Amino acid sequence: MATKASVERSELSFEAGFSQPEFSLFSNVAPLLQRLYARLQPHGLKLTDLRLERGTGGVAEQNVLFYLFDYWMTVRIRVERIEIHCSTVPNREYVDKFKAAMVDVLRAVQELKPDFLFRAYAVAVDVHAKLEGQSVRDYLAQFVANIPKGLGSSTGNGAVFYFGPEGDRLLSSVTVDPSALIPEAVFAKVHGLWDASKVTAEVLSGNAEAFIRQGLDSLGLQVPD
């Protein structure tokens, strides 16, 4: 039977790996900036939130950085991948807004080169939730049958499960642990990696959301939509 869980905090991470390093993105960055601004201005992108970072000069350190949705979303475009992190996911409305913005980031990069290819897409969601009618300790106990002996009194446990290919998904994992941020709460992480040759970014947004829901269900957590 599923345990009802009230989400106290959640984060979303997305990464799109390129099929090969795209050095041309930074040899002349103006076309990339132009595409990004055109695509993302409707999502609230401001010139003051758009930065070009060189680091210490290393090729891998160069990136275009910008923020959306009052700094809830951070986007970095590097020579070999796109990284997107959402520090909070406040409600269903923002899930849809975040997904639309992510797709437009990918479209902006793809529009620069007709033969541009992504290698893989990674999605991870972190959830910190308080459980109804069950302690965190009792909930986590169901995932561990044998606790190591002779190391002292057990103060708790967690678990991580890894899974292989399934459909257009290359691999996945689910993690469950006591929350280190919210007292008396459980931490759950659902992670998936998709083959970009088998799924488009537009289709991925729906597939990933369904998979995240499936991952939380597999942990016996009933989380509101």
Average pLDDT in the 74-102 region? 93
Instruction: Give the Cα separation of 22 and 125 in Å (integer).
Output: 28
Query: Highest mean pLDDT: which of 62-71, 151-160, 216-225?
Result: 62-71
Q: What is the pTM of this model?
A: 0.92
At position 165, the amino acid (one-letter code) is P
Strands 81-86 and 3-18: antiparallel
In the predicted model, what is the mean pLDDT of the chain? 92
Q: Is the alpha carbon torsion for 187, 225, 94, 125 positive or negative?
A: positive
Average pLDDT in the 152-162 region? 87
Residue 70: pLDDT band by 50, 70, 90 thresholds?
very high
Residue 149: pLDDT band by 50, 70, 90 thresholds?
confident
What percentage of residues in the chain have a pLDDT greater than 70? 100
pLDDT by residue (tens digit) across 111-140?
Answer: 988 788 999 999 999 999 999 989 998 899
Q: Facing residues of 122 across strands? A: 15, 193
Q: Facing residues of 194 across strands? A: 121, 169
Residue 46: pLDDT band by 50, 70, 90 thresholds?
very high
Residue 109: pLDDT band by 50, 70, 90 thresholds?
very high
Instruction: Give the Cα separation of 224 and 46 in Å (integer).
Output: 33
Instruction: Give the Cα separation of 225 and 222 in Å (integer).
Output: 9
What percentage of residues in the chain have a pLDDT greater than 90? 72
pLDDT, residue 1, reads: 67
> Which token pair is 87?
């520090």
Q: Is the per-residue pLDDT at 145 higher than 80?
A: no
